[in-house]
Every structure is written in structure tokens, then in C-alpha cells.
Chains A and B, each alone.
Chain A
Amino acid sequence: MPAGLALAFLVLPLLALLVRAPWTTLPERLTGPGVGTALRLSLVCAGSATVLCLLLGVPLAWVLARATFPGRRLVRALVTVPLVLPPVVGGVALLLLLGRRGLLGQHLDAWFGITLPFTTPAVVIAEAFVAMPFLVIAVEGALRGADRRYEDAAATLGASRWTVFRRVTLPLVAPGISAGAVLCFARALGEFGATITFAGSYPGVTRTMPVEVYLALESDPQSAVVLSLVLLAVSVLVLVSLRDRWLTGSAS
């Protein structure tokens, strides 16, 4: 019985979203100016954040999975902080570091004339901050699960560590990396708290889908429902792609 309740609790809100959606006016609302801009911005930012997370997160995952150094457990704990930290706090923290008067931001401003907050790059940074742990944890798990003897075999063939990593380790954990990247992308796409705190809400610049939904809810509730539907559709797509990944992963 409690299980049924839990299921209802999880499914009914989504059902409500579907039931109350303005299906008849859906096409024109979807093609309206605000939606397209916000969706495109969201996809670009979440995509960029995912690339950033891949570039930085995979090496970090490798270090966590393979290197032994004092304080490894501490580093691992630090990596997972953004998972449990309220995103809005993350946004505040980013402002304090990278804002115009931030620890680093004041130098960026003074030396290079770079101001990050309330720009599109700020959206990417906020999303990457929140989403990176998902990627790191997924890739670290894949690396720990990979058979290291393949790396031994590569070493007996004369491969340097970098060659082993590039030509053996990475391909072997590719399914884990894809799964991590998809999770990371999904998390970045839905990011709200850190984004609105660190990047604000300028239409076309920093106003991503979740921010648009929040704002539309006050001015045009029907629009908010439509935007939510789009995000729901993207989530389902992500879920399906992960499912395929897992299925092929277990079959190979």
C-alpha cells in the first residue's frame, strides 16, 4: 500500500501536467518567440556545460579511481558536495568567487576586463558546477569496474600510460562516460537555482527553460505548462537514451 502511494505520489503530478496542458493551442505556443529562444539557449548551455564537465571531470574521475594519494577520500567527498548542496547556495558561492567583487572575479575584471556574472558563460559555469559530480561519479564507477588487466596487456605491447589511457581505458569505459554525460546533460538542462543566482534572467542571454517556466507561471500560466511539457519530453528522451545504453551495456 505505501508502495502504491509512493508511485501515485511520483506519477500523479506528471499526469496533472499532461491533463491540464492546453493541447489545442499547443502548436502556436510552441512556435511562439519566447519558447524557441529559451529552448535553444538551454540546449546550447547544457551542451557546453556537458563538454566542460567531460574535459575536466574524466581526468578527475581517473585520479579518484586510479591514483593513491593522501587525502583521496577527502577529495572524493568534496566532489560530491555540489550533489547535496542547495543549488542556490552554489550560485551564491560562484558569485563570491567569480562575481565582479569576487575573490577571483575582481582580478578577471581588472586584468582582462572579463565579467562573468549575468552572461551566457555564467549559465554554463553554474550548470557545470551543479552537474559535474554526476559525471565524475558515473565515470569513476566505470573505471573501477573496468578490467585493469587490459591495461597490463597494452603495457606489454609497449604502450605509454597516455596511449593506454587513450586507446584502451577510454574505449573500455565509454558506456560509463556516455551514461555520465547524459545524466550530466539532464541535470544541467534542469538547473535553476544556481543559474538564476549567478547568471540572472536576461531573455536570450541567460533565461533558460527552467527560468522561463518560473517566470511564465506568474504572467502566463498556460505558457508555463507548455514549457514544462517540453522539459518533460526532453527528460523522457534522456531516460530512453540511458535505457538503451544500459541495455546494450549489459548485452555486450
Chain B
Amino acid sequence: MSAGLHARLRLDRGSLALDAELEVAPGTVLALLGPNGAGKSSALQALAGLVPLDGGSIELAGRVLDRPADGTFVRTADREVGMVFQDYLLFPHLSALENVAFGLRARGVRAGQARRSARAWLERMGLDGSASLRPGALSGGQAQRVALARALAPGPRLLLLDEPLAALDAGTRMHVRSDLRSHLADYAGCTVLVTHDPLDAMVLADHLVVLEHGRTVQSGRPGDVARAPRTDYVARLVGLNHYRGRSRGGAVELDGGGELTTADPREGPVFLAFPPSAVSLHRTRPDGSARNVWPGRVAGLEQHADTVRVQLEAEPAVLADVTTAAVADLELTVGSSVWAAVKATEVRAYPGDPAP
């Protein structure tokens, strides 16, 4: 018995078999991160009671909400859960104020009191001027905040956010993200956030659960997950070069071919990771101090703000971030032959899965 959320979610729905464990303490935010079809949204729907579990259980603040084993199922309306939907689903026939007051009215608060409370929520969200507007007249960022106010107004113990920023354009998103962060910091209940955007997860969450194909592939604090990805999906999300291999005193034979040296003398199965900025490129074999030097062929070039990301076909394949000037000096084009170099101290090693 504790105040937080304890859930073991099992769903079996044809194409999707979800099995994930979620623990959220009050006042903290858990982000479910994963590619489309990983089961993130289904997990949220199960928590909200919109989909019944096939196995496992959901317990919120000591109260069992769903446990198929003994037939317990609390209907959505009777759970203390608030939800922000991906496309917000603001009631189109009600004003922003009436939308926010809806949950209070539905839970028996008198009309006048509900309106006063809703107005206070809108003010908190900086939306006092938009109270009488219909959802159709709100901008994306405003609609998002009305949806958040609507979900929070009845005082839920659990807040569910389904891709809360996905419907916004890039400029608005940054602004709304930091707003959302401060509102979540004020919220005393548990929050579960679903997203496929790693930045949302890093900025908003205290704890990260990465789902792939309905399974948890990695979980931990966002910073730890970002530093030590355990699947290619996570590595791509956080933009790291990522390899799996077997180490003998720091010399790692990679599963995908090739060999890298790390300063970490760990033995056995390991993951290796280093940022693309740690890779330097050379026309000829460099004589410097770098322990890892190998030849390759440029397979792609992509401008990223003030650097160019070079995709190198080699053994192992690698991403390198170099300056635009370096690209010119090296006369890099697709098909050019170059040498890649990485210092052993830049290559992070951490325990891998035991060999199968």
C-alpha cells in the first residue's frame, strides 16, 4: 500500500502483446518512450480504464483499479484519473471555460463554484482572455493548455498525457514544453507521459521506460538511459554510435564486425557508445594518439546546424560530426575514402546482455 501508481500491464490484442511494469511515485513523471506501435497508447488506455487489462493489475494510491485475476474493474468515470489526449478532444460545442468546468460539474460541484474554479485554472495557464472561446477558435498551444487545465481541474491522482506536444508545430512546441514542465512540477499526483520524442522525455520525465514491441527494453533516469543506450532504437533517439560486442581487456570484438578499443578494461559482453562528435576524419591514415583508426567510405552527408553529420560505410559503420570547414578541406563527397579516428577514452563501455 502506497500513494503512488503500481501497475503491471498485460494486454493481448492480436497484433500487440503488451507486458510492462510501471512504478510512479507521487509528484514524479514517468515517460513511456517507444516507436509507433510499441504499445504506449494502449498502456495509457488501460490505465484510464478505456481498455480492460488481460492480465496484471493497476493499483493507484492503495486502491486496485483493474485486476482481471479477481474480477476487479473500476470504470473510467470512477477512477481519479485525468487524461490529455493527443488531439486534445476538447468538446467543440463548449467554450474553453465550460470545457475546464466539465469535470468538476460531472463530479457534482455546483455550477457557480465549478466556473470559478475553471476560471482560476485558465488564469494559471495564462488563458484568462480565451475563456469564452470555442475550441475551434483556439491556437494549438492554447488548446493544449485548455486540455491540461481540463484534466487537472478535478484534482486527479493520476495524470495521463498522450503525446501532449505532437500536434504542435516546432516553434510552439518548445514554448509549450517548458510551460508543461513547470505545470507538472506543481502537480502533486503521478504523471505518465507517452511520447516518441526523446527531447520531451528528457525534459519532462523523472523516469524513463522504453517500450519496443510491447516489452520494456530499458528503463532508468533519462540521463542514464541517454548515456548508455541498450538498443539501436534508443541509441538512434539520443544520437549515439552504439555497438554490441565482447571485450577482452578493453579490446572489443564487435558482433557486427570490426574491433574497437576502450579505456575501460571490462571483460565479457559489453555495449560501447560514443557521440558522433568524438569521431575525427582524415584523408590519410592519421599518426596521432587515437587508438581506434579504421578506413571507410562516405555514404551520406547531412547538414546539422553548424556541423555536418557524415555517415561512414566501414567496419564498424559510424556517424561522425565534423565542421563545414573540415568537409571542404577533406573534399568530402559521397563515395570519398576517408579514415575515422576515435580515442579509446571517448568510447564508453557498459555491461551488455549475457551471450545467448
Contact = CB atoms under 8 A, between A and B. Distances in A.
Contact of B77 (A160, A168, A172, A252): A160
Contact of B106 (A159, A172, A174, A252): A159
Contact of B81 (A156, A167, A174): A156
Given A159-B102, A163-B106, A150 B91 contact: yes
B102 A156 contact: no
A153 B83 contact: yes
Contact of A158 (B77, B89, B94, B160): B77
B85 interface: yes
Contacts of A171: 91, 93-94
Contact of B85 (A153, A158, A167, A172): A153
A56 interface: no
A157 B50 contact: no
Interface string B62-101: 0000000000000111100111010001011110000000
Nearest to A147: B89
Contacts of A161: 77
Nearest to A170: B93
Interface in A153-181: 153-161, 163, 167-168, 171-172, 174
Given A149-B85, A152-B76, A157 B93 contact: no
A155 B77 contact: yes
A23 B103 CA distance: 60
Given A149-B85, A159-B77, A154 B93 contact: no
A155 B107 CA distance: 11
Contacts of B32: none
Contact of A154 (B75, B81, B102, B160): B102
Given A152-B50, A152-B76, A157 B89 contact: no
- Dominant SS at the B interface? mixed
B293 interface: no
Nearest to B100: A157
Contacts of A157: 82, 102-103, 106-107, 150-151, 154
Contacts of B102: 154, 157, 159, 167
Nearest to B78: A158
B127 to A, nearest CB: 18
B164 to A, nearest CB: 14
Contacts of B89: 147, 149-150, 152-153
B106 to A, nearest CB: 4
Q: Which of B50, B82, B94, B106 has the most CB of A within 10 A?
A: B106
Given A150-B89, A152-B76, A171-B93, A158 B106 contact: yes
Contacts of A152: 48, 50, 76, 89
A155 B91 contact: no
A157 B89 CA distance: 12
Contact of B107 (A153, A158, A252): A158
A112 B93 CA distance: 45
A156 B102 CA distance: 11
Contacts of B48: 152, 156
A172 B92 CA distance: 8
A156 B80 CA distance: 8
B107 A156 contact: no
Nearest to A160: B77
Contacts of B81: 156
A153 B94 CA distance: 14
Interface in A107-157: 147, 149-150, 152-157
A147 B151 CA distance: 19
Contacts of A150: 89, 91
A22 B147 CA distance: 62
Interface string B105-142: 01100000000000000000000000000001000000
A153 B102 CA distance: 10
B102 to A, nearest CB: 5
A152 B150 CA distance: 14
Contacts of B85: 149, 153
Contacts of A154: 91, 102, 106
A163 B82 CA distance: 17
A193 B91 CA distance: 44
23 contacts: A147-B89, A149-B89, A152-B50, A152-B89, A153-B83, A153-B91, A155-B49, A155-B50, A155-B75, A156-B77, A156-B151, A157-B102, A157-B103, A157-B106, A157-B150, A157-B151, A158-B77, A158-B107, A167-B106, A168-B91, A171-B93, A172-B93, A252-B136
Interface of A: 147, 149-150, 152-161, 163, 167-168, 171-172, 174, 252
Q: Ordered nearest first, which 3 A-B pairs have the shortest CB separation?
A: A157-B103, A159-B106, A155-B76
Interface of B: 48-50, 75-78, 81-83, 85, 89, 91-94, 102-103, 106-107, 136, 150-151, 154, 160
Given A152-B50, A171-B93, 16 more contacts: A147-B89, A150-B89, A153-B83, A153-B89, A153-B91, A154-B91, A156-B160, A157-B102, A157-B107, A157-B151, A158-B78, A158-B106, A158-B107, A160-B77, A163-B106, A174-B93
